Homo-oligomer: A and B are copies of this chain.
Amino acid sequence: MVNAMIKNQISLSKNQKIVLDYIQKIKKPVKAYSILSGVKKSGINAPPQVYRALDKLIEKGKIHKIESQNSFIACNIGDCATPHAVAFSICNQCEIVTEINDQKLFKYLSDFKDKSGVNFKGYNLEFFGVCDSCKAI
């Protein structure tokens, strides 16, 4: 159905909306149990409700998981077309995380082939260093 097709691009369930709203509000990486605390007043009571929403939001490109922190952050590239090909910079001092949106980097990585010639569609890249603000201190 056409309606469904249009809807599918953005359609989120009730809990998914609640969790996404919370993550977008925070603007920083948040941990699953912080999300749980933050959305308790919205009627979400238990970890599985949060983790299920997180899984779906990742699939739908709305959020990403920062693997080195076990935290979650809203996608800042609109509706992320490539939810499994992402790059971030992480400041070791203030722990601020910034999603990198660099077409040249993306192309380089998605074209990359290992020694046996295998090409990988997906990747997760996390840069570590000191951000500008922290350098200034």
A residues sitting closer than 8 Å to B (CB atoms) are: 67-68, 84, 89, 98, 100, 102, 105, 108-109, 112, 114-116, 118-129, 131-132, 135
The residue that A89 contacts in the complex, of B67, B114, B131, with Cβ under 8 A, is B114
Number of copies: 2
CA distance A116 to B84 in the complex (A): 24
Q: Are B128 and A123 in contact (CB under 8 A)?
A: yes
Task: Enumerate chain B residues within 8 angstroms of A109, measured Cβ to Cβ.
Answer: 125, 127
Q: Are B100 and A114 in contact (CB under 8 A)?
A: yes
Q: Are A120 and B116 in contact (CB under 8 A)?
A: no
Which secondary structure characterizes the binding site on chain A?
Answer: mixed
Given contacts A89-B120, A114-B89, A114-B98, whether A128 and B84 have CB atoms under 8 Å apart is: yes
Given contacts A98-B114, A112-B105, whether A127 and B122 have CB atoms under 8 Å apart is: yes
CA distance A135 to B119 in the complex (A): 12
CA distance A125 to B123 in the complex (A): 7
Task: Enumerate chain B residues within 8 angstroms of A108, measured Cβ to Cβ.
Answer: 108
CA distance A84 to B128 in the complex (A): 8
Given contacts A67-B67, A67-B68, A108-B108, whether A118 and B129 have CB atoms under 8 Å apart is: yes
The residue that A68 contacts in the complex, of B121, B124, B132, with Cβ under 8 A, is B124
Task: Enumerate chain B residues within 8 angstroms of A116, measured Cβ to Cβ.
Answer: 132
Q: Are B118 and A89 in contact (CB under 8 A)?
A: yes
